[in-house]
Amino acid sequence: MLFAWERGKNLTNNKKHGGKAAGGEQAYLKFHHAKKDKIPTVRANVPKLKVIPLGGLGEIGKNITVLEYENDIIIIDCGIAFPDEEMLGVDLVLPDITYLLRNKEKIRGVFITHGHEDHVGGLPYFLRQINVPVYGTKLTLGIATGKLKEHKLLKEAQLKTVSVGNVVKTGAFKVEFIGVNHSIPDACALAIRTPVGTVFHTGDFKLDTAPIVGDMMDIARISQIGKEKVLLLMSESTNVEREGYSKNERSITSSFAEIFKDSSQRIIVATFASNVHRVQQIIDAAVRFGRKVAISGRSMENIVNVATELGYAKIPKTSLIGIDDIGKYPPEKLVLITTGSQGEPMSALARMAFSDHKKVVIGPGDLVLISSNPIPGNERYVARVVNELFRRGASVIYDDIHVSGHAFQEELKLMIKLINPKFFIPVHGEYRHLKLHYELAKKMGIKPANMFVLDNGQTLELDSETAKLGTNVPSGKVYVDGLGVGDVGNIVLRDRKHLAQDGLIVVVMTLSEDGQVVAGPDIISRGFIYIREAEDLMEATRKHAKNALETCIKHGTKDWNTIKVHVRDALGEFLYSKTKRKPMILSVIMEV
């Protein structure tokens, strides 16, 4: 009998030729005639599938995951995160794609699960550096198209629209799009066939038996894939702390109806711009009770326009008015749909609350509905806006008018049961979410040795039987500040924080060519102390700087950098002894 692992006709002798058969795979040939006992195949140096999360783990936002097999790479999602209060002046946060830039010749495409900012928002910045095909469903790519148009990248972009059920073959991968429910239409999970087995990535999902738009999550197809033996499940973890099942999106339809029916006030509703389901429900309630609808906020306007053009939102033309026309209608006939449900300082709702909006002023005649839950970390921003709305005399409702688009515990269990994977990685969440999802999966029967709670930049290497951690790759945060991408780093943020907390002192000194003091030192203070109320301290500071400068000159010091450092250090010690503060101190020398 002949036992061999054979590819094609070129099967070579292991001992003579190093065991390489066609395709570069290890093989050897064994003959056995006397007994029918099987001789196991030897497989050495089998190529591994690498799974490399570059964002989205240990955090909310900037989701991006890399799958690599030999010379082929595909990317799942390309998102952004929003800055926290420590990131002074930063507009957006991007994932570090250094590893992808080093390997861009291997990249076969980007596969987007849905159209939320934390999954699609980073595309313009990515495609500016690496132009590869981008695959997504109609609404997802419709949203991406608007972003690329703003960045003047649309002409060069390779956008490939797919439908639920389509399979895209590229390189070593076959990617199937599977419909799931989420707070935006056209959301998909991905079943990715690789040479070592199937990887199932849930994307963001929930089980909604009666979605506003589209079909219920394709449980039958997911179950069928699970029966095919899935190697790895990567499942979102956002709501793992919440027991039971998430509520149906339609469950808040009655809440909107009750509020609209009983209110004689102008109604302002803040929600996520990308929550097309919620926007549609608000519009339906407005139409039902005879109210005109105005849209405020650039991102809200863009997404509503895209959703309407593509048929995902239906707004009667007679019901929609421009924001400039709201003064033509009585308050009880108006509904404003706006951005700012997360309390973002520059959002439309925040500007309304703090009287900085050009078109809308909020007052006692207004009812404000905040139809979302705060993303972890945004609670203070939301509370700040809510407090200001109350101060303005507005009525505010911010409870019980939102349902989550993310799976609760029972839905997460269902996904694990349906897929029944060999290996498991919890994704999309802060560290506690990932760890709790790990514990949930353990209760569902997955072996702890087969589960991995990863950090961004960690590599997991898999074959059909084993999984182990590999070499870490560069990862982290790239800050967008205005037109600058990556030119603001941790050092700049540290300096901004320093300036915000302790202020700035500038010491200006004028020296002659031979090193003699011509003028100064003069002291300029910004954000440190109010000079008129501390004239004695400023005068003492100036004298201290002069003494330090004269000490340098007396000792023959001519190096300007040495003089600057000496004056700065002397002032730093003096000011701390007097105020217990540490302002940033800059020494400036001018020569005449």
- 124 and 107 in a single domain? The answer is yes
pLDDT at site 31: 31
pLDDT digits (tens, 9 = 90+) for 539-586: 788 787 878 877 877 776 667 777 778 788 888 888 888 777 778 888
- pLDDT confidence of residue 310: 92
Residue 153 has pLDDT above 60, yes or no: yes
Kindly report the length of the chain. Answer: 592
pLDDT on residue 527: 73
Q: Is residue 492 part of a domain?
A: no
Residue 296 covered by a domain: yes
| pLDDT at res. 385 | 92
Look at residue 388 and tell me if it is in a domain: yes
Query: Nearest CA to 367 among 260, 293, 271?
Result: 260
In this predicted structure, what is the pLDDT of residue 18? 39
Q: pLDDT at position 490, please?
A: 60
- pLDDT confidence bin for 343, thresholds 50/70/90: confident
Residues 9, 55: one domain? no
For residue 376, tell me if it sits in a domain: yes
Say whether both 538 and 560 belong to one domain. Answer: yes
pLDDT level of residue 25 (50, 70, 90 thresholds): very low
Q: Which of 363, 381, 397 is the last residue of a domain?
A: 397
Dump pLDDT digits (tens) for 301-335. 989 999 999 989 888 889 999 999 999 999 999 99
More confident residue, 392 or 489: 392
Alpha carbons 269 and 264: distance in angstroms, whole number? 15
What letter represents residue 418's amino acid?
L
d(CA 180, CA 426): 18
Report pLDDT digits (tens) over 394-432: 999 987 788 899 999 999 999 999 999 999 999 999 999
Span 69-85, pLDDT tens digits: 999 999 999 999 877 66
Q: Which long-range contacts (CB under 8 A, 24 or more apart) does 519-526 make?
A: 520/546, 521/545, 521/546, 521/549, 521/567, 525/583
Q: Are residues 384 and 311 in the same domain?
A: yes
pLDDT of 178 higher than 60: yes
Q: What is the pLDDT of residues 509-549, one digit of tens each?
A: 787 766 666 677 878 777 776 655 567 777 788 787 878 87
Confidence of residue 366 (pLDDT cuts 50, 70, 90): very high
Q: Residue 380: which pLDDT band, with cuts at 50, 70 and 90?
A: confident
Mean pLDDT of 12-29: 35
The helix (H) or strand (E) run that includes residue 12 is none
If asked whether residues 428 and 341 sit together in one domain, one would say no
Specify whether 62 is located in the same domain as 193. Answer: yes
Domain match, 59 and 10 both: no
Assess whether 195 and 135 both reside in one domain: yes
Report yes or no on 516 lying in a domain.
yes
Average of pLDDT values for 12-30? 35
CATH classification of the domain holding 458: 3.60.15.10
Q: How many domains does the chain have?
A: 4
pLDDT > 70? residue 39 = no
253 and 366 inside one domain: yes
Integer CA distances (angstroms), 293 to 57, 63, 345, 348, 359, in order: 39, 34, 24, 16, 15
Rounded Cα gap, residues 262 and 108, in angstroms: 55
Q: Over range 190-204, report the average pLDDT.
A: 97
Q: Which residues constitute the domain of residue 21?
A: 1-45
In-domain check, residue 495: no
| Cα–Cα distance, 509 to 529 (Å, whole number) | 21
Q: Which of 109-123, 156-170, 226-240, 567-581 has the lowest mean pLDDT?
A: 567-581
Residue 335's pLDDT is what? 95
> Could you tell me if 39 and 150 lie in one domain?
no
Q: Of 362, 397, 432, which residue constitutes the final position of a domain?
A: 397
Q: What is the mean pLDDT of the chain?
A: 84
105 and 147 part of one domain: yes
Instruction: Tell me, yes or no, whether 493 lies in a domain.
Output: no
Q: Are 515 and 545 in contact (CB under 8 A)?
A: no
| Final residue of a structural domain among 363, 397, 431 | 397
Span between the terminal Cα atoms of the chain, in Å = 97
- The CB density around residue 259, as the number of other CB atoms within 10 Å, is 18
Q: Which residue has the higher pLDDT, 18 or 172?
A: 172
* CATH number of residue 537's parent domain: 3.10.20.580
- pLDDT confidence of residue 8: 35
**Using CA atoms, how far apart are residues 206 and 72, in angstroms rounded to an integer?**
31
CATH code, domain carrying 368: 3.40.50.10710
Higher model confidence: residue 3 or residue 582? 582
- Looking at the domain assignment, is residue 476 inside a domain? yes
How far, in Å, CA of 542 to CA of 546, rounded? 6
The residue-averaged pLDDT of 157-179 equals 97
pLDDT-above-70 percentage for the chain: 84
Q: Do 481 and 372 share a structural domain?
A: no
Q: For the ranges 26-30, 169-173, 183-187, 449-453, which has the lowest average pLDDT?
A: 26-30
